[in-house]
Amino acid sequence: MVQVKDLEIGSGIPKVCVPIVEQAQEQILNKAQEMGGDVVDMVEWRVDFYKDVWDFGKVAQTASLLQSILGKIPLLFTFRTAREGGEQEISFENYEGLLLHMAKSGCVDLIDVEVFRGYDKMQRKRKEWKSPDSCNQPVKNLIRELSKEVAVIGSYHDFEKTPSREEILRRLFFMDKMGAGILKLAVMPQEKEDVICLMETTLLANRLIMDKPIITMSMGALGTVTRVAGEAFGSAVTFGCTGKESAPGQIEVSRLRQGMEILHLD
């Protein structure tokens, strides 16, 4: 379990996170005004959509205003790269600089880090996948520094397929080894068996990694059940939307909450 403000991530019913994907500061703040604590547990600011993302001072100012609107609702800061389904690319130097700047600003509560940034390419050159014995040292160092200030979600996204059970476990173990406090994996199913594989593997991962919350989801229409039934297989957070979705298959937040309540394991 990870405590962020008044929120306990990893205990009870999965927490509902809603992304903000607007481009301008005014739109972002207006969207935040719609976020009520009765249906939203966390808010994710997808800063890769933000038109002023390269002005770190403006980013921190916007985050501060967001935080003042959200109050006790934790704010997750995410720059999702194009390689993992985001809006644009960014050099590692700028990525590192942006995340460290925001961690030290005190304006965000959690930061998402793409744990495999550059690592898969490096391993392909070596023609082997050395997990969990090897590590992505630059990202590991970044996670260590960020963790001094905020909770860190280590993440991996595959918008093309669902890896095998063994590969999903390797990815989650690697995130754990890298020091992330919360482990997140999102994949794209091609058939119903992929959805079952993701759910079964998450259940197993929770038994093997007992000290950290795990967030998993199967994207698209085929994977919708994983966004509603996370409590049954051990996913600690689910992502809904209020308007524009940030990933395929997100459900409107009030409907998502209603479905989760029906399936709640009392």
Percent composition of the chain: helix, strand, coil (DSSP 3-state, to 5): 45, 20, 35
Residue type at 217 in one-letter notation: M
The pair of three-digit structure tokens given for residue 193, joined into one six-digit string = 């068996």
Instruction: Report which of 46, 42, 49, 53 is spatially closest to residue 4, judged by C-alpha positions.
Output: 42
Concatenated DSSP letters for 38-66? TT-SEEEEEGGG-TTTT-HHHHHHHHHHH
- Residues identified as active-site: 157, 184
Do the Cβ atoms of 146 and 79 come closer than 8 Å?
Answer: no
The pair of three-digit structure tokens given for residue 257, joined into one six-digit string = 């909450």
Residue with tokens 């009870």: 12
Structure-derived torsion over alpha carbons of residues 169, 92, 31, 63, reported in degrees to the nearest 10: 110
Instruction: Report which of 260, 152, 255, 131 is spatially closest to residue 213, judged by C-alpha positions.
Output: 152
Strand 214-218 relative to strand 237-241, pairing:
unpaired
Q: What is the C-alpha to C-alpha distance for residues 82 and 89, in angstroms, rounded to an integer?
A: 5
State how far Cα 194 lies from the chain centre.
20
| Phi, psi dihedral angles at 241 (to 5 degrees) | -145, 160
